[in-house]
């Protein structure tokens, strides 16, 4: 059992998905490319996490970088 507030993502087989790792996306848990601006302003090197499931899948995701 996961204690943190998670975000549910349901993906179809072969459906590409980019997950935000920086916590600045306006569309969490998905990456909206805001990390590019953050990296330029703060000198960080955030990149999204890419997922390509081989079968239909439901994920419960959590990052400490995501503001609740």
Shortest Cβ 58–ligand FES spacing (Å) = 21
Task: Name the residue nearer to ligand FES (CB basis): 17 or 25.
Answer: 25
Query: Under rule CB under 6 A, which residues in 29-48 are in contact with ligand FES?
Result: 31-35, 46, 48
Alpha carbon of 47 to those of 4, 18, 19, 32: distances in Å?
Answer: 23, 9, 9, 11
Q: Which stretch binds ligand FES (CB under 6 A): 1-9, 26-34, 56-64?
A: 26-34
């Amino acid at each position: 059992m996961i204690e943190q507030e998670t975000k549910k993502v349901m993906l179809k087989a072969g459906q590409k998905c980019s997950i935000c790792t920086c916590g600045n996306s306006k569309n969490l848990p998905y990456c909206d490319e805001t990390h590019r601006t953050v990296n330029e302003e703060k000198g960080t090197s955030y990149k999204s996490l890419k997922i390509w499931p081989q079968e239909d899948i439901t994920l419960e995701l959590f990052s400490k970088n995501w503001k609740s």
